[in-house]
Amino acid sequence: MNLLLVADLSALLADLDAEGAALDTLLTTLPPESWSLPTPSDGWNIAFQVAHLAWTDQASLLSVVDEAAFVAEAETLLAQPKGFIDRTAAVNAELSPEELLVLWRTGRASLRSALAQVAEGRKLKWFGPPMSAASMATARLMETWAHGYDIADALGVRPVPTARLRHVAHIGVRTRDFAFTANKLEVPTEAFRIELDASGLDASGLDASGVDASGVAGLSGQEWVWGPEDSAQRVSGSALDFCLLVTQRRHVEDLDLVAVGAQAATWLTIAQTFAGPVGGGRSAGQFSQQQHDGSNL
């Protein structure tokens, strides 16, 4: 199946809700002292991770409801020295865990409601290129999952991967050209063939016919595929591992992914779903012990 991201906004927002709820369930049980545990993101503890999600939801909401105010704030932040992402997260990270949870929950609920009302065809301003409501919802789901994975790593647990990862994988495929540009490399002219094994993902959201809430058929026990079948540049392997790669939560050497072709192999070393400067990623072997010993959520 050559997978296309479904444009059904209501179903996409339902997936965003589910991703937020999964992380919320983990955070609700944390004792206050655990919020200061360091995560794999340099200098960020669990409170910083949640504070960043809360701030980004607030920024997204501002873009939807007051475009002029968002543009003014974005111009101010982008004009500042490098590091505004850390600085904005630091403000909310000073809140108590209870206050931070309320802030994040309120913000994501407000954003979800606002995105549902965005007029078809409207492009929302952002720190990178403008995007549709569906693209913004997908980006928020990707960030929630990726930062949630950092939190899980800090706690030594492994989140159960779900079929919602198709959204993360889709962003990973669509940001290929950006990754080459950000690394000052020539952008490939040929579309890559991507074949991902999604058979190990939790498909509890699928109905009896194998169709999920967003209308995509065959997510369980099937490959997710992008690009022409005859492409000379190819990537194949685990859907989960591909998502961990493009969000830079694991090093390519620790993942079940195979590249065919020099450009595809290069891409696996630079892929990133997030806008902004090139990310530092993770080190090879950094999580080898946890991968064997971590418990499942």
Q: What is the pLDDT of residue 83?
A: 77
In the chain, the domains with their CATH numbers are 9-158 (1.20.120.450), 165-282 (no CATH)
Backbone angles phi, psi at 296, to 5 degrees: -85, 145
Q: Using one digit for the tens of pLDDT, what is the confidence trace for 174-226?
A: 999 999 999 999 999 999 999 999 988 887 644 333 334 333 333 444 889 99
Distances (CA, A) of 127 to 71, 144, 165, 166: 9, 18, 24, 24
Q: What is the pLDDT of residue 204?
A: 62
Q: What is the pLDDT of residue 281?
A: 79
Q: Using one digit for the tens of pLDDT, what is the confidence trace for 236-291?
A: 999 999 999 999 999 999 999 999 999 999 999 999 998 777 777 787 878 865 54
Q: pLDDT exceeding 90 applies to what percent of the chain? A: 72
d(CA 250, CA 1): 27
Host H or E run for residue 55: helix 46-65
Q: What is the pLDDT of residue 289?
A: 52
